[in-house]
Chains A and B, each alone.
Chain A
Amino acid sequence: MVSVLDRDSELRRRAWDAAASVVDPEIPVLTIADLGVLREVALDGDHVEVAITPTYSGCPAMNMIALEIEVALERAGFRRSKVRTVLSPAWTTDWMSEEGRHKLRAYGIAPPQASSSRRALFGEQAVACPQCGSENTEVLSEFGSTSCKALWRCKSCREPFDYFKCH
């Protein structure tokens, strides 16, 4: 026999899984759950409310992500959903999952360093090349192809690479 409580938590899990499957349009190997952008999935009857948090204030991927969540929920059978943006607490790269960091590296993007702090924002950083693993690297530009990335170059294998900035 399935109790109401079980059915609710089962539904909530299905809603979470559907929302969590949405990927970042700019870095399609990462889901919004890997990124820590997905904050909460709440269920009220058949209405789903999803809370997401932006990585950077002006990140243009947020609108796309919100739309993708609604589509994913619809596909999973949830017809009524709403996505809201929460600003607090502010997103940090510390919320990125270990799995997310592995996926990033395998994709050719150096993952953010473990603990973000003002020191990491201002201080010297040693970023390992995602291609050859060398730490003999240099920054080419603090700002890269998207808000969240910087452009680096490996001095050992000579390959340029993206670095997911500590934030």
Chain B
Amino acid sequence: MSVANIEVSETPLVLYALRRADDALILGHRLSEWCGHAPMLEEDMALSNIALDLIGQARELYSYAAKAEGKDNDEDKLAYLRDVRQYRNLLLVEQPNGDFAQTLVRQFFYSAFADLYWRAMMNSRDTTLAAIAAKSEKESAYHLRHASEWLIRLGDGTDESHARAQAAIDQLWAFTGEMFAVDDGERALIHAGIAIDPGTLRGRWLQTLSDVASEATLVLPQNDWMQQGGRVGRHSEHLGHLLSELQSMQRTFPGLTW
């Protein structure tokens, strides 16, 4: 038997933290799926380490969201007892691992954004968000460096690795627009100095992408049609499968602790 979903009072601030927490948790979970399966031992450790950083960031953001909500939800309930439609992550991070190139391109798109985003959020007027940002900023810099180096190696590698890296870029491109979208609630938080306007990061994000892509002999798509929906709970079919695995223990044995 399954356990009922919790309800979350999504004030703009709670929703804001929840969206970023969900990004970090879902991407961290995706990377953890590589544990024991990566192409080499060093990469197995790298992807697991990055997963650990992201899940750590998610915990801090969930705890913050729970506190901001002020009900009896906590980090575990927020992670384990919300269903697909209640998840607020970017569509990008829930995309399946695919081959190694797809995993790295997904990571590259996200980390290039996260690195700029967290650095800007260090100036948030909210001291907890600023503190989370100060930690996450350093971690994201490592993640970005790791993904960039791999992308150059794959793109400028063999015909096979080049073709796969280019295919991954083309396939995931349409999920990048969502990172820069804001709604009315977020606009108010930006105005209050709590959040930052992601639109102001887009130029630098594109610059990072094109610098790395040109060194990797890869081409960024010109296509600017973007898929959205994750931020309001409209997800691809992949998220449900991911959550059924991530949540199975708490859904089966409610409240179980190690």
Contact = CB atoms under 8 A, between A and B. Distances in A.
Nearest to A55: B135
Contacts, number: 81
B52 interface: yes
B130 interface: yes
Contacts of A145: 45
Interface residues of B, number: 32
SS class, residues of chain A in contact with chain B? loop
Given A88-B127, A90-B138, A121-B141, A57 B45 contact: no
Nearest to A142: B146
Given A58-B54, A58-B57, A147 B135 contact: no
A44 to B, nearest CB: 23
Interface string B118-139: 0000000001101110111011
Contact of A140 (B42, B135, B146): B42
Interface in B76-123: none
B135 A142 contact: no
B139 A56 contact: yes
A85 to B, nearest CB: 9
Contact of A60 (B52, B54, B134): B52
Interface string B143-154: 001100100000
Interface in B174-218: none
B56 interface: yes
B53 interface: yes
B253 interface: no
Nearest to A145: B45
A54 B50 CA distance: 16
SS class, residues of chain B in contact with chain A? helix
Contact of A122 (B127, B139, B145): B145
Contacts of A165: 142
Contacts of B146: 142-143
Contacts of B49: 143-144, 147
A18 to B, nearest CB: 27
Contacts of A75: none
B212 to A, nearest CB: 13
A167 B49 CA distance: 15
B60 interface: yes
B141 A122 contact: yes
Nearest to A141: B42
A56 B127 contact: no
B138 A167 contact: yes
Contacts of A59: 52, 56
A87 B135 CA distance: 8
Contact of A57 (B46, B56, B127, B149): B56
Contacts of A118: 141
A130 B56 CA distance: 30
Contacts of B42: 140-141, 143, 151
A87 B131 contact: yes
Nearest to A91: B135
B60 A57 contact: yes
Interface of B: 28, 42-43, 45-46, 48-57, 59-60, 127-128, 130-132, 134-136, 138-139, 141-142, 145-146, 149
6 contacts: A57-B59, A58-B57, A90-B135, A143-B45, A143-B142, A151-B42
Closest 6 CB pairs of A and B: A58-B56, A57-B56, A88-B131, A141-B42, A90-B134, A87-B131
Given A58-B57, A88-B130, A121-B142, 5 more contacts: A57-B57, A88-B134, A141-B42, A141-B46, A147-B53
